[in-house]
Amino acid sequence: MKNQPPAGGRESRRPRSAELYERARRVIPGGVNSPVRAFRAVGGTPLFIARAAGAQVFDADGRAYLDFVGSWGPLVAGHAHPAVVAAVSEALARGMTYGAPCAAEVELAERVVAAYPAVEQARFVSSGTEAVMSAIRVARAFTGRDLIVKFAGCYHGHADHLLVAAGSGLATFGRPSSAGVPEAFTACTRVLPLDDEAAVAELFGREGARIAAVIIEPVPANHGLLPQRRAFLAALRALTHQHGALLIFDEVISGFRLGRGGAADRLGIAPDLATFGKVIGGGMPVGAFGGARVIMSRLAPDGDTYQAGTLSGNPVAMTAGLATLDLLSRESGWERLENRGAELEQLLAPVLAEARFPVHLVRVGSLFWLSFHADGAPRNADETARFAALFHALLDRGIYLPPSAYEACFLSLAHGSAELTQLAQALREALATIA
């Protein structure tokens, strides 16, 4: 009964979270350290989490929620998995950071190289943003070119030259999508629509000799879950080869979640460079980028392209990543995650069919998303308002989804049949409350 909707407003339901949020707003911009956490897209006060275990998080008021955020993707084994916690505890006892090489970073790099197509060397950093920024730098150094091509609907972190919105018409010149980003920083970024081979071919025909790299999420998961046709990704592979540009797969979300070799292995398309994060950190702040030895050799100290990080290869973070990958291998983790996703799809199909407005499940492996439009992302205020209503109706029933209509949800090994059934039942009840 603890998670039944209580009487009163949202703040009165979670007074400790409300109190912490008010304190946070005085000392932290917006009261949060990452914007989507602020609940601005859905309204209300963000949950402050006190602890987590398995498939559940517990807020500061002691309420339990079945969690499908999973810290935005890294917790593929669930929260505080005993094997990961034990490995991290042992690593902590040996020291939190060295600022020097350690065996764990070698071992984790060996796992990445062995698993991912076309990666012969990898370098660790501390975030996905840093991984993408560094991959683009080495791509520019290797090709001797400046232009980068990205796609509307793909997110690659908050580096200045990637905070770009599409320009008008066929020019496709990127323009800053954030204050504080000079137009000069985005002048070398081109933005194209997803799934438009003609637009890519036109751009390469016009500027192919200046393009250093094309970067794409092979499974875009930050503006809704937008599965791409393999033929489109294969066309990117062919065009970049033809014009001497590099193809970068941003697998910060999909890497080591959709399979041992990420989306690249699943699709049978090998990029020149790939970026990673989330799962390989096992819940710790970790990113990585990798590619062929001839490309990666341009990095200092061997080459002329500078990249560095004081906490890169942190021994505790490396150990968390190793423990997570060990668990996935030992317990048939990728197969189990795929099966969980298929089971969820079966459970939700009749529930969504009963809804009084369009709502659809989009799924790729253990990633899923509720779309409020038959063929894409929510497109108008009514649809996003419905999501906000659905979000809070589910929250009141003990289900925690990402607080945005455009963010993907994540399954973990901790989500069993009972948890998926709980989601399906709560979703049926919540949808019945929304016009």
Catalytic one of 59, 67, 195, 250: 250
CA distance 348 to 355: 11
C-alpha distances out from residue 53 to 71, 279, 415, Å: 12, 17, 11
Percent of the chain as helix, strand, coil, to the nearest 5: 45, 15, 40
CA distance 269 to 9: 51
What single-letter DSSP state applies at residue 66? E
Q: Residue 364: enclosing H or E segment and its boundaries?
A: strand 360-364
Closest CA to 257 of 410, 402, 431: 410
Catalytic one of 116, 150, 195, 278: 278
Spatial CB neighbours of 124, under 8 Å, sequence gap ≥ 6: 105, 108, 109, 286, 287, 288, 309, 312, 313, 318
Closest CA to 211 of 140, 112, 282: 140
| Annotation says 21 is catalytic | no
What secondary structure, in 3-state letters, does 343-358 show? HHHHHHHHHHHCCCCC
| Annotation says 98 is catalytic | no
Q: Report whether the peptide linkage leading into residue 301 is cis, meaning its omega lies within 30 degrees of zero.
A: yes
DSSP three-state, residue 411: coil
CB 42 within 8 A of CB 384: no
C-alpha distances out from residue 69 to 76, 157, 161, Å: 11, 18, 28
| Annotation says 265 is catalytic | no
CA distance 189 to 212: 10
DSSP three-state, residue 160: helix
Length of the chain: 435
| Residue with token string 């369009």 | 358
Catalytic one of 116, 155, 400, 406: 155
Which residues pair with residue 418 across a beta bridge?
Answer: none
Residues annotated catalytic, as ranges:
155, 250, 278
